[in-house]
């Protein structure tokens, strides 16, 4: 069950990142984040009301609230790092986020077997290579590295926090709702500050009404990924769930190849193969 839900997380996050990346070519990144998360929050709110999720309110919601605070900050740092570039360094380096939940799992006493350790090493190496690491070119700015590391730490913290936010399905809906509302509040504040400083809140063509279905997909895929990861982490070793969930860059690269006809370099293709091999080792270990 852990492997299934963790791989579902990778699929959903990979597609959400692909969709978000395409949408940010047409609208400011912060606007994409706020609108997509607002749609997800509205849907989750309706689900919470329908399932009576309010009855699950308790101290664990603080984990969801913390995840909602950390997530947008990590995303903003990640987008800034991507803007400074090069993407071939930023994207693979961000996969260091897996170190946080894996570290938490080890502290809590998890001891993966030799096959699982080997699978994790192979999978993480594959993810880094699938991101198309830039092995030569201009030196990377120190600020870019710092922003990427902060983003990775934030993403990893969200992994760890959301896994602790609930123990039941209805409680999970409520936790994800709290997380999304907090995301919107933090992202909205960041967008307001950006506009005050002269940034654009909307594209020149106005509000992207035609893109609402795509924005909804991005927001709902992201929230579903948080849900499947929480289930994966609660029903098996966090060390395994975190590594399998971190395979989403491979999905993003394959989606770009399939939908945008972007060609995979030999390094990226090899990375995808290694990620698949690592997945098999983790699932069978």
Give the pLDDT score at 272: 67
Q: Concatenated DSSP letters for the chain?
A: -HHHHHHHHHHHHHHHHHHHHHHTTTS-HHHHHHHHHHHHHHHHHHHHHHHTGGGG-STTHHHHHHHHHHHHHHHHHHHHHHHHS-HHHHHHHGGGGGHHHHHHHHHTT----HHHHHHHHHHHHHHHHHT----SSSPPPHHHHHHHHHHHHHHHHHHHHHHTS-SSHHHHHHHHHHHHHHHHHHHHHHHHHHHHTT--SS-TT-S-GGGHHHHHHHHHHHHHHHHHHHHHHHSS-HHHHHHHHTTHHHHHHHHHHHHS-PPPPHHHHHHHHHHHHHHHHHHH-
106 compared with 46, residue with greater pLDDT: 46
Please, is 107 exposed, middle or buried when counting C-beta atoms within 10 Å of its C-beta (0-12, 13-18, 19+)?
exposed
Average pLDDT of the segment spanning 158-184: 91
Give the pLDDT score at 179: 94
- For 98, the token pair is 């897996």
Give the pLDDT score at 117: 76
Judge whether residue 157 has pLDDT over 80. yes
Separation in Å, CA 222 to CA 5, 192, 227, 232:
14, 23, 9, 15
94 compared with 31, residue with greater pLDDT: 31
167 compared with 220, residue with greater pLDDT: 220
Judge whether residue 105 has pLDDT over 90. no
pLDDT in tens, 116-149: 778 778 877 776 676 555 555 545 567 777 887 8
pLDDT in tens, 203-260: 878 888 889 999 999 999 989 999 999 999 888 888 788 888 877 777 877 787 777 7
Give the pLDDT score at 156: 86
| Residue 241 and residue 6 in contact, taking contact as beta carbons nearer than 8 Å | yes
Average pLDDT of the segment spanning 263-285: 69
Give the pLDDT score at 25: 77
pLDDT category, 85, cuts 50, 70, 90?
A: low
Residue 202 — φ and ψ, nearest 5°? -135, 155
- In this prediction the pTM is 0.81
The span from the CA of 40 to the CA of 18, in Å, is 17
Give the pLDDT score at 27: 84
Which of the residue ranges 85-89, 150-154, 199-203, 212-216 has the most confident prediction, judged by mean pLDDT?
Answer: 212-216
């Amino acid at each position: 069950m852990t492997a299934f839900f963790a791989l579902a997380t990778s699929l959903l996050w990979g597609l959400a990142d692909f969709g978000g990346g395409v949408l940010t070519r047409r609208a400011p990144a912060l606007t994409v984040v706020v609108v997509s998360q607002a749609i997800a929050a509205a849907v989750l709110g309706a689900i919470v009301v329908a399932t009576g999720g309010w009855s699950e309110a308790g101290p664990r919601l603080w984990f969801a609230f913390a995840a909602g605070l950390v997530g947008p900050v990590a995303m903003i740092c990640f987008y800034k790092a991507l803007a400074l570039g090069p993407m071939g360094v930023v994207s693979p380096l961000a996969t260091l986020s897996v170190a946080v939940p894996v570290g938490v799992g080890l502290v809590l006493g998890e001891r993966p077997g030799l096959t699982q350790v080997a699978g994790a090493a192979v999978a993480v190496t594959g993810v880094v290579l699938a991101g198309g690491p830039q092995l030569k070119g201009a030196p990377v700015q120190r600020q870019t590295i710092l922003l990427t590391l902060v983003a990775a730490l934030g993403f990893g913290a969200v992994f760890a926090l959301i896994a602790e936010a609930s123990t039941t399905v209805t409680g999970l809906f409520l936790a994800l709702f709290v997380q999304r509302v907090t995301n919107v509040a933090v992202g909205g504040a960041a967008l307001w500050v950006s506009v005050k400083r002269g940034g654009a809140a909307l594209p020149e063509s106005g509000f992207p009404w035609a893109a609402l279905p795509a924005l909804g997909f991005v927001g709902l895929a992201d929230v579903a990924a948080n849900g499947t990861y929480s289930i994966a982490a609660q029903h098996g070793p966090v060390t395994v769930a975190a590594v399998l969930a971190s395979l989403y860059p491979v999905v993003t690269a394959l989606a770009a190849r399939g939908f945008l006809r972007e060609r995979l370099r030999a390094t990226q293709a090899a990375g995808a193969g290694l990620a698949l091999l690592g997945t098999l080792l983790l699932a069978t270990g």
